[in-house]
Structure 1
Amino acid sequence: MFHPVTEARAFVVAALVEPTPRDHREPDRAFRRRRIVSALTLVVGAGVLTCALHLPPGNNLFYLATVILAAVWTTGALASGPLHLGNAWTRDGTTRSRAVVQSLALGVILVALFTVGALAVAHLPPLRMPLDALLAHASEGSLPLVALITAANGVAEELYFRGALYAGVGRRHAVAVTTVIYILVTAASGVVLLSFAAAVLGLVVGLQRRVTGGILGPVITHLVWSLSMLFVLPSVLAVAS
């Protein structure tokens, strides 16, 4: 018999709690190299992100800056060392598979939560105004191009933050450390809600990385969330106004 609470608990444990077995240990020299490359990438990437998010809406340099940002994250991640796709537990907790369905579900759950939150934010001008300014990059520019860049940056961020940086932090406190760094980098935008989103998203995909040992799950969840927010959030804010 189907029991919603039991099924929900099994899903959470499989997707976010119980790590799958793997051995991704690296020689000390490779680990030090990963840390150095990750640190350099972080400095460059944070600088490019700050410049990109402070460009006025409609400025074509925004597209160039975000493409460069995706290239920075991706190049740094790939140069740091091997990256793994990872595996997740299935719902029964006895077999493993690629974390596709679970990640899609987590992405949808995040979209639902942020949509509800947007209904409240719509009536709070101090929070909404910076968010409107950020979304103006899509409304005043080419939406298909912005969507493509959003997807590319979503993948690139996961390659770096949950790939290279997570592996470079080490086993202890990797979820917490990478989430905090992700929040601090995002805070460069000056948009409080974007930093809050980075905290929630960073924690969820960080837990996915811990469970699966790879980047596939975080990439899928990030893409579902970011692309949905790009298309759904403006409409939600408009309706709630």
Structure 2
Amino acid sequence: MVTQGWDELRGAVLHREPSHPGEDPAVIRRRRIVVVVFLLIGSVFLALSLSTEPGASIFYVYTLALAATWVIGAALSRPLHLGRITWRGHRRRPVLTGLGVGLGLGLVFVLGGLVVRLIPPIHDLIANVFEHATKGNLTVVVVIALVNGIAEEMFFRGALYSALGRHYPVIFSTLIYIVVTLASGNPMLGFAAILLGLVAAIERRATDGILAPMLTHVAWTAVILLALPPMFGV
């Protein structure tokens, strides 16, 4: 059973078939041009947002601009698909699947946080990220983070994933997501992007849409922002 599960996971990660093989070449070219342009713009806003002083008003401006960048890029790259899963013989929207995976992933990060908070260099890197939440308006920060999570999935697991076509979209969409996240200058965000990006990309492949990744990102973000800051004393 373990071997079969590993083979299925490896098959999902290395899957090369495009999710919508009938797309016109012109659509694919448009997707790729849009993705490259908005990746560059988004990377700049991400770097700017986390380079601000915690609590500064400009932080909200940059993060909202970042969310707008991902949403506009995804919209211009259209079409996007919500996706479905088969449950008891019926095709359904993966609402519970997305939320359940996100809560489970959030729990993994909380358990990991209990360990890494005891390592001073890692503790400081993580605490630096959460200072933006605790020194600003927590409600506003949480809302913006949730909006950004949805926007990221629309772009990275929607526009970017589709633009990659047969070029191992699970692998390369995750790698690009990691590289862009590292523009923040904080390696711990890059580490989080490895796990979150891979899980979301596999969900995208399994459901053929972005709804499950969006709900996973939202649930994961809520757990992280509400549970981890107190653990790191911020």
What 5-or-longer segments of structure 1 have no aligned partner? none
Q: Distance in 1 between matches of 2:20 and 2:38?
A: 25
User: Are 2:54 and 1:57 aligned?
Assistant: yes
Q: Following TM superposition, by how much is the alpha carbon of 1:101 offset from its aligned partner in structure 2, in angstroms? A: 1.0
Q: Distance in 2 between matches of 1:81 and 1:67?
A: 21
User: Are 2:111 and 1:116 aligned?
Assistant: yes
User: Are 2:194 and 1:173 aligned?
Assistant: no
Confirm or deny: 8 A CA contact 1:55 1:62 kept in the other structure.
yes
Regions of 4+ moved over 2 Å? 16-19, 22-25, 235-239
Q: Distance in 2 between matches of 1:197 and 1:109?
A: 14
Alignment TM-score, normalising by the size of structure 2: 0.90
Confirm or deny: 8 A CA contact 2:98 2:216 kept in the other structure.
yes
Q: Distance in 2 between matches of 1:23 and 1:54?
A: 39
Confirm or deny: 8 A CA contact 1:175 1:210 kept in the other structure.
yes
Aligned equivalent of 1:67, options 64, 69, 88: 64
1:107-155 deviation per Cα after TM superposition (whole angstroms, max 9, x unaligned): 1110111011000111111111121111011111000100110011001
- The letter of the residue matching 1:226 is T
Question: In structure 2, the residue corresponding to 1:96 is in which secondary structure?
Answer: strand
- The letter of the residue matching 2:26 is R
- Kindly report the root-mean-square deviation, in angstroms, between the aligned alpha carbons of the 2 structures: 2.4
Q: Following TM superposition, by how much is the alpha carbon of 1:24 offset from its aligned partner in structure 2, in angstroms? A: 5.7
Within 5 Å, which residues of 2 pair with 1:1-241?
Answer: 23=20, 25-90=22-87, 94-238=89-233
- The letter of the residue matching 1:225 is W
Q: Distance in 2 between matches of 1:142 and 1:222?
A: 21
- Same amino acid, percent of matched pairs: 40
Confirm or deny: 8 A CA contact 2:47 2:185 kept in the other structure.
no
